Amino acid sequence: MTIEIRPAVPSDAAQILTFITELAEYEKARHEVIASVADIQRSLFGEGATAHGLICSRDGVPIGFAVFFFSYSTWLGSNCLYLEDLYINPEQRGGGAGKKLLRHLAKIAFDNGCGRFEWSVLDWNEPAIAFYKSIGAQPQEEWVRYRMEGDALRDFALG
């Protein structure tokens, strides 16, 4: 079976949203997905889009995706690649697709002179944590991630 990875194109927006929804269900957060196909088309493929998508297929059938963007490290003085989401269908896991997709992203980071390749994982997701450690990734436990969204973001911005 052949695993292929290619850049996502606008016609992939519905498939990407399906994968996002499946990932959210796995992460017990389906209720938080409010994105529409139009949102995906605009944010990944519209003018000025800063995020990028990849589609992972096995024998021509999409089985997963990744969304990433470039960030910046002042300490390194270089760009970094941040992986927002990576998902492989549960029935396709264990066959090398996730590792191939991560390696593809690492190559994008390396080819673009990125000083880091980073992502987040839920603390209860032991299979993913074990997988990430097996490929040499290390947790950054001294950093605590913060988020501002919705009403809090609006209220603070308009403060």
Catalytic residues: 132
Closest residue by Cα to residue 56 from 95, 111, 112 = 95
Rg of the chain on CA atoms, in Å: 16
Contacts of 118 (CB under 8 A, 6+ apart): 71, 80, 81, 82, 83, 140
Is residue 65 within 8 Å of 84, Cβ to Cβ? no
Distance in angstroms (rounded) separating the CA atoms of residues 24 and 112: 30
Question: Amino acid identity of 79?
Answer: N
Note whether 131 and 98 are within 8 A (CB): yes
Tokens linked to 153: 């973001």
